[in-house]
Structure 1
Amino acid sequence: MGAQDNMIMPIISKMYCSSSQTVLVIRRRPHVINGGGFVVTDCSQKVSFKVDGCGILGKKDEMILRDSDGDALLLIRRKGAMVEALSIYRKWKGYSLDYEGSQDQMVFCLKQPNSCLATTQAIRISTKATKNKDWDFEIKGYFPDKDCSIVDSKGNTMAQIGVKKELMASKDLYHVVVTPGMDQAFIIGVITILDYIYGESTRC
């Protein structure tokens, strides 16, 4: 295994890991589609990912992450409200989809504090590879301000979400800088949940 392979952190797929830093631009779909989701492009404005919000799917607390061709990569849904009523966390899970579009296996779980009893108020994410610890990544900063980052359990920044100064007037456009080797599809999956939690473009 070469040095470059050691840098790769596939969570959804190795094909979404780049050996260089990547800047992705996130643009909300038009407001005429309630809960319509958003489109992710690279610097050359080529579509990298698409997210269908609950307005398109017709199901509350559910979103789908698609690749540039429109094929479904990830089904994202929240655990039942009755279960959550007894929990100090709200849990969101991302599931890989098989070639027929059926739910396959859980890829990651995001825990959103649901109670003052939660030991930390940070939003944390565990992956199917999580071992000997409770979480792999956490959110630092405040997503609605588009000033936050996704960091690993060692404190390394894996992705930085921000807005260019000239675009400050528009909340419909922001960017994310993804660290070399990090799975870009996973990062967009996490952003999809943050978008929904804070009532933005994926929420009905």
Structure 2
Amino acid sequence: MAIMAPVVSKFYCSPSQTNFLVRRRPHVINGGGFVVTNNNQKPVFKVDGCGTLGVEGELILRDCDGEPLLLIRRKGGVVQALCINRQWKGYKIDYEGDEKLVFTLKEPVSYIVKKIPVKIVVEPRCNKDWDFEVKGSFRDRACSIIDSKGNIVAQVGVKNEFEELRLSKDLYHVVVQPGYDQAFVFGVIAVLDNIHNESTRC
């Protein structure tokens, strides 16, 4: 049995490997962002970005009923501009609307050019520099989220029987391994989407 590793909620940790399909939404119709569906083509998550929210550097991950799960903000300011990493903060939203910091994603300034891994720290912090990292190229739909022990958490753009889906940037597969938090995984993917100026950007 898989060990559960919840970040947002254990509700989103499946005991088995789970396959998802991500579909980008057009900006002109519904403000952009993307929808995540399962093998039965039922929506599981939805991500709203700047086109819907009207706020640059802010994303919302919602569940299948449209309820907000994660509010993700890019940290700004003069100090941030001078840092070697740009930071994104992911906040869990409870039923009363209160926000609780659950992860920080550190985007190296030269990430896209030099493909330096993106580091992610989960709250509360342990005695390590990072808990997860993103390796590979999200732009090419060929990257993985890996934990600090080297285990693959999720893979973006996994090859499948529908080759045209693998090659499309508007439609791609994500496989999440047993025990890992699927809501957290798609929160990270939402940030990667925004960093690469894709569906969640204005």
Asked whether the 8 Å contact 2:157–2:166 carries over to 1, the reply is no
Provide the rounded CA distance (Å) in 1 between the counterparts of 2:110 and 2:166: 33
1:27 aligns with 2:19: no
Q: CA separation of 1:177/1:168 partners in 2, compared to 1, >3 Å: closer, same or farther?
A: closer
- What secondary structure, in the 3-state scheme, does the structure 2 residue paired with 1:185 have? helix
Task: After TM superposition, list the pairs within 5 Å mapping 1:67-86 onto structure 2.
Answer: 67-86=63-82
Aligned 8 A contact 2:25 2:33 in 1: yes
One-letter amino acid of the counterpart of residue 125, structure 1: I
| Paired amino acid for 1:202 | T
| Paired residue type of 2:49 | G
**What is the alpha-carbon distance in structure 2 between the residues aligned to residue 173 and residue 198 of structure 1?**
16
The aligned amino acid for 2:7 is: I
Which residue of structure 2 lines up, in the alignment, with residue 171 of structure 1? 169
Counterpart of 2:78 in 1: which secondary structure?
helix
- Cα distance between partner residues in 2 of 1:169 and 1:14: 32
> Which segments of 5 or more consecutive residues in structure 2 lack a partner in the other structure?
none
Deviations along 1:129-176, one digit per CA (max 9) or x if unpaired, are 431101001111000000000001111100011154232453210011
Matched residue, 2:150:
155
Structure 1 residue 81: Cα displacement:
3.6
Find the aligned partners of 1:9 and 1:168 in 2 and give their Cα distance.
28
Q: Which moved more, 1:161-170 or 1:74-83?
A: 161-170
The 8 Å contact of residues 62 and 69 in structure 2, kept in 1 or not, is answered as: yes
- Contact 1:90/1:113 (8 A) holds in 2: yes
SS of residue paired to 1:101 = coil
Structure 2 CA distance for aligned equivalents of residues 10 and 128 of structure 1 = 11
1:45 aligns with 2:41: yes
Counterpart check, 1:66 vs 2:62: yes
RMSD: 1.8
Instruction: Report the TM-score when normalising by structure 2.
Output: 0.91
Counterpart pick for 2:141 among 142, 146, 151: 146
Count of residue correspondences:
196
Give identity over the alignment, percent.
62
Aligned to 2:85: 89
Cα–Cα, structure 1 residues 196 and 96, in superposed 2: closer, same or farther, change >3 Å? same
The within-5 A match list for 1:72-151 is 72-102=68-98, 104-114=99-109, 121-151=116-146
TM-aligned CA deviation for residue 107 of structure 1? 0.6
